[in-house]
Amino acid sequence: MSDDGSEPLTENSDHDENERLAKDILRDDLTRVLRYGFNFQGTFAFSVPLPYSPNPCLHIDGIGIVGLPLSDRDANLIANTGASTREGAADTVFVDRSRISYKNPKWETYVGEVVHEHVWKRLGCAPYKTAPRYELRELLLQKPGSRADFFSSADARTTPETFGTVIIVLPSGFTGGEIRASHGDRNLTLVSAKGSLYETTLLAWYTDVKYEVENLTSGYRLALVYNLVHTSAETPTPCIPSAETLVCHTRDVFRKWLLSGYKGIPDDHVAAYVLEGNDRMKDDDVLSVLKAAADAENMVLLLGTLCAHVTGWAEASTADKPTYGLSQGTFENPIMTQLHVVKFKVKKLTDIRGKPAQNGFGLLLDEGNLVPEFPFRDVEPDEQDIHPFTSYTAKPLEYWYRRRALVLFPSSKQLDVLLSSGGVEYALSELEKSASEGPTEENQKIVEFIFQNWRKTSSPEDCIFDFRPSYEVPTMTPNDIATRLAGIAVQSNDAKLWTRTMSMCKFRDEVDLSRFGLEHVVAGWEKFQLEDIEAALDRIVDGLRSVQDTLMVLKALRGSENVLHPEARRDQWLSGHLDRSFSKKADESSLRLIMEVACSKGLDYISRVIMPPLLAQPLEVTGWAKVAESLYGSQDQLLALPPSQSQTLSNAELFDSILDDVRSMIPKGGTTFLLADSPQDSEDDDSERAAQESGNLLDR
């Protein structure tokens, strides 16, 4: 940490800063196209007198300085010195800009000031990153009786960046010659004849404006014609907003986004355009434009409700530009001067037709996703919670906002976006819907996401519910994930997924077999080839801590029929795990299963496999009594079983040996039990009989 307490810059911080800047640029472009486009305050054409305009001291090669106001003599010189005329503009003379210069050094500065003051604002070109450029195109002279038919000034466009025309009518007395400009169903009449002898007049319009020049009834009109040129390569060219042009400009932004033109924007970046809400018709227009552009450029467009929860510190003062809420505060209704936490979530996501897009899951965002920037500045919150405070101590203040929002992201990243938002629960729901399709490429991507986030949990602070998150966020446990994923694997006949799920389960710690459900293990055993799932089954059985759980699983598997497993191979696997199971922890609750296996396997198996690890178990005396009870209860059955090939003692001798081992584990001499060789021995002492009543089962 640096001396001032701030974190030092690192490569990661540089990356974060670059990503933030890239988000800002994308946001600026979208804001310019949409909010500025629909809030267009300009006009498609205008005219304004310039009564204090200086004399440019206009100089034309081959003529010299032209006096102003224009005289008939100079007008005839211009008309007769090789100037050109054009089709559709009868009696109009055009002088190439290469022949034009100004002897007044202040003229160019004056034109720049006039264009900045009048043209940029009135045509609605601002705001811009770099100011548009104006450049001289030609000098125009109209004679008496001249007339121009309807034509678009786009015909005079010299570069693709040219978006408008500026006309400076120099003092040259004339009458008539009104200019009727039109765009769509709108019409304007631009007048420049009034005061034309002694005043300069400014006219301007966009290139796609049509206009007609009426006949001059007398005199000459002399005008300088300028092109307006767009200079900000990263922003849309100024235009008269229309649905078509807005769609075109929006597509340009989307195309740049998809081509990684905004360097630093992550592939799964989401832009959420916050609708103003006070003009439903305008909001619908924005939706229409975005829908057309999104469809054309393969972008996803969703609708939802943006919920913003803002916490900070309250003060009864005034802030210049608070990021959230109003700028004027009182003691009773303070403002938020310092932010603490800001969270955004878009809920109830649907497509344009109203179909839910995410099964009820929301989309978590940050401020960098919002378009435009600071959509809640100077906006009163929908709800607020002012904590008690005094004038001496600032206390927490909370705001809640809800707005309609249009969510945008590349369609190629739709799955990534929805997964990152909906989390493991959403991923599982998507897998369950498509389980019958088998392991598709998209499903594999979802599976990878689940395993990457297997043990990530969320807290109530990670999500935003309605306005007041007053209840706990449901969190999926590893048990829940394993259970659902195992079912999906069986349904989709995906042995690899089932194996991987079982391998990820920590049966000793996180996954409780009783909650996980033994039926899911059995379902995999019945569905898949043993060779495909053997490693996972080994992990399951070996990972079980107790003898009871292990024997319960093995018993369930043995009782399940599966023609996919060769009988010999199946028996070998089950027997191997059965033999190893008795070394696990045993308690009184597991003795019943142990003795059930023992009585089915015979005395030799009991002596070799079961008793050695069982004798090492820290069983209570009552536990050993239960072992003895089982042995006595099954004595006839055990003695009747044929001896094994490796058995050296008779069944009776082996039974007595096993019973002696059990007796050796029970204390003698007046402790809990008093052992005797026959029932008669225990009847000689009343105190010993009392001890036997507490559970001595060996003295039968």
Domain around 687: 611-700
Residue that terminates a domain, selected from 449, 481, 514: 449
**Tokens representing 96?**
């190439």
CA distance 169 to 609: 112
Q: 250 and 368 share a domain?
A: yes
Q: CB of 68 within 8 A of CB of 79?
A: no
In a domain, 514, yes or no: no
What pLDDT, on a 0 to 100 scale, did the predictor assign at position 646?
83
CA distance 698 to 676: 8
In a domain, 518, yes or no: no
Q: CB of 446 within 8 A of CB of 430?
A: yes
CA distance 466 to 94: 67
What pLDDT, on a 0 to 100 scale, did the predictor assign at position 83?
67
CA distance 308 to 303: 16
Count of structural domains within the chain: 3
- Please name the residue that has the structure tokens 């619908």: 284
From the list 178, 186, 169, the residue with the least C-alpha distance to 51 is: 169
Q: Which amino acid belongs to residue 645?
A: Q
Q: 146 and 294 share a domain?
A: no
pTM: 0.54
**C-alpha distance from residue 574 to each of 486, 551, 569, 571 (Å):** 21, 10, 9, 5
Residues forming a β-bridge with 204: 46, 166
In a domain, 480, yes or no: no
What pLDDT, on a 0 to 100 scale, did the predictor assign at position 129?
65
Q: Supply the CATH number for residue 168's domain.
A: 2.60.120
Q: Summarize pLDDT for 566-589 with one digit per residue, the tens.
A: 788 888 888 898 888 888 888 777
Q: CB of 614 within 8 A of CB of 662?
A: no
What pLDDT, on a 0 to 100 scale, did the predictor assign at position 514?
65
In a domain, 511, yes or no: no
Q: 249 and 182 share a domain?
A: no
Q: CB of 323 within 8 A of CB of 377?
A: yes
Q: 104 and 213 share a domain?
A: yes
CA distance 221 to 226: 16
Q: 206 and 248 share a domain?
A: no
In a domain, 372, yes or no: yes
Rg value, the chain, Cα: 44
In a domain, 575, yes or no: no
Q: 271 and 209 share a domain?
A: no
What pLDDT, on a 0 to 100 scale, did the predictor assign at position 468?
32
In a domain, 584, yes or no: no
CA distance 453 to 651: 57
In a domain, 569, yes or no: no
Rounded mean pLDDT of the chain? 77
**174: helix, strand or coil:** strand
From the list 255, 210, 180, 246, the residue with the least C-alpha distance to 238 is: 246
Q: 225 and 249 share a domain?
A: no
Q: 205 and 269 share a domain?
A: no
What pLDDT, on a 0 to 100 scale, did the predictor assign at position 203?
93
Residue that terminates a domain, selected from 200, 229, 258: 229
Q: CB of 335 within 8 A of CB of 314?
A: yes
Q: 55 and 203 share a domain?
A: yes
Residue that terminates a domain, selected from 449, 481, 498: 449
**C-alpha distance from residue 209 to each of 93, 233, 699 (Å):** 22, 23, 114
What pLDDT, on a 0 to 100 scale, did the predictor assign at position 199?
94
How remote is the C-alpha of 380 from its chain's centroid? 27
Q: Summarize pLDDT for 1-50 with one digit per residue, the tens.
A: 334 333 333 334 444 555 555 556 888 888 877 766 666 667 889 999 99
Q: What's the start-to-end Cα distance of the chain, in Å?
A: 79
- Please name the residue that has the structure tokens 């690890």: 613
Torsion of CA 119, 121, 122, 126, to 10 degrees: 100
CA distance 422 to 601: 52
Q: 214 and 300 share a domain?
A: no
What pLDDT, on a 0 to 100 scale, did the predictor assign at position 631?
85
Residues of the chain where predicted confidence (pLDDT) is lower than 50: 1-15, 149-155, 391-392, 457-474, 669-700
Q: 224 and 347 share a domain?
A: no
Q: 108 and 146 share a domain?
A: yes
